[in-house]
Amino acid sequence: MDRLACVDLRELPLQILLDRHPEWKGLPVAVVAQDRPQAKILWVSPEARSAGISAGMRYAQGLSLAPKLRAARVSPRDLQEELRELTVLLGSFSPEVEMAEEPGIFWLRGRGLGRLFGSASAWARQIQGALAAKGRKASVVVGFSRFRTYGIARNTDGILVLKTPQEEDALFRAVPLERLSIGPDLRDTLERLGVRSVGDFLRLPRQGIRLRFGQEASDLYEAASGGRYESLMPSIHEEPVGCVVFLEEPLSDALPLLFLVRRHLHSLLLSLARRGDALRELEIRWVMGMGQERTDRIRPAQPNLQESLILDLVRIKLEALPLPCPVEEICLRLHGTPAEPQQLRFFLEISRRDLSAGDRALARLRTELGDEAVVQPRLLEGHLPEACFTWEPLDHLRPPRPRPKAGRGNIIRRIYIKPLCLGMRPRHEPDGWLVKDLRCGPVVRLWGPYVISGGWWRKEVHRSYYFLETLRGDIFWVYYDTPRKKWFLQGRVE
């Protein structure tokens, strides 16, 4: 079945508008560019066309011809969202689906699908049936050429399967030019010359088309005559944004489940934003024991990327409809729609750290555990390690200011509040020096000594510091206290 199908959803923006206003069906209806009297009419219904209204008129002009004319605007976002859903739907009938610039026109390649659908007629019927189930009226033409199937679909209602290229050519030549997407100036000029169909247009001499009618007419002639080969350019299939979370133990409480959703939601929203989309719907499938599962769909009022708002909706859902059984698995899937540039910039540039929320958390700790529970270190001019810093109360959090790294990453030296006494080092160590415990293993490397001495005016200090590496890779910071003749563990390096 090496065929090509062209799907024409006639006046798709008008179909979207009538979905919103079903009470307008049967009346003259138009889609306008803006909500104002002088707005340009973009699409009209058959009733409006019968009243003499056509695309390109002003709304006020149309209203003078049909006083019952109803009109509204379909936003580009709504139209793009609809086109994306249609592309996904048509993708179930062919791996190669191309969406035309003209809204509502799609091409599907049928190569290699014969065993799956049986025949070209069955393929076309299933396509039209799926679109009808979605509430969309469409014509489907199965043929051989990209532009010719488009022209025939624009002049056909229902399904048409062409058997030969000659049949396709004959039907294409009978298509009125007004059915094609051409500019009103070119259409009117050709109509004044008596050129009303594609066949009439192709009978004009090729030479001089551009000179007499311009570049648009020349491009139309090349496409209609088959002089320019245009390959199918299918839409790129994007993997859905989502993840699956397997729980170690079944959970039934809403709060820990909400935290699990939150743990993965930000990274998923980030993936969605990098595609240029905002969240339109969050699909959560709760898999419970005994083969039970439930799917919740969270839809914000407007597509957005606000994590807190989405989590709040998830919380309300769980509180309103508690899960009947403990959850063993959570499947998250995000459905997006094109986002506004301001939304993307705000989401991608804003820091995830909320300092005000951190201050509120610290205030709760301070209230529960006391003021001394929330402190920060401050460096001092000291001689001994334990005298080089002090702790002071922390009132507010500040944004981090990390220094640029040079070479390998920074390491952290943790100091014990009170050094741990290691006692005397035995003279004979058949198994090596065990500083910490058996799990760390014996010392395999040693750096030092780094001697610190002083304090003779109060209490003499003389320490020899060493860094030790154990067999497991731990690095300890120890010193030998000469006056006390003992080893101490001062800290460790991470």
Over residues 373-424, the pLDDT tens digits come to 889 888 888 777 878 888 888 888 887 777 766 666 677 888 888 888 887 7
Query: Is pLDDT at 428 greater than 70 in this prediction?
Result: no
Task: Check: CB of residue 490 under 8 Å from CB of residue 419.
Answer: yes
Position 129 scores a pLDDT of 92
HSE-CB for 48 with a 13 A CA cutoff? 29
Model confidence pLDDT, tens digit, residues 165-192: 899 989 999 999 888 888 878 888 888 8
Can you tell me the mean pLDDT for 438-453? Answer: 83
CA angle (29 as vertex; 26, 34 as ends), nearest 5: 160
Tokens linked to 177: 């030019």
CA distance 355 to 124: 58
Question: Which residue in this structure is represented by tokens 């320019």?
Answer: 228
Position 7 scores a pLDDT of 93
- Contact partners, residue 401, CB within 8 Å, separation at least 6: none
Task: Check: CB of residue 390 under 8 Å from CB of residue 372.
Answer: no
How many other CB atoms are found less than 10 A from the CB of residue 180?
19
Global pTM exceeds 0.75: no
Strands (E), 291-373: 293-298, 327-338
Position 323 scores a pLDDT of 87
Buried b (16+ CB within 10 A) or exposed e, 284-299: bebbbeeeeeeeeebe
- Indicate the range of 110-119, 178-187, 278-287, 335-344 predicted with least confidence: 335-344
CA distance 15 to 45: 9
Sheet of 327-338, strands arranged across: 241-251, 327-338, 277-288, 293-298
Position 142 scores a pLDDT of 92
Q: What percent of the chain has pLDDT over 70?
A: 93
Whole-number mean pLDDT of the chain?
85
Model confidence pLDDT, tens digit, residues 202-229: 888 888 888 888 888 888 888 888 877 6
Query: Is pLDDT at 247 greater than 60 in this prediction?
Result: yes
Query: Is pLDDT at 32 greater than 60 in this prediction?
Result: yes
Residue type at position 386: E
Query: Is pLDDT at 251 greater than 90 in this prediction?
Result: no
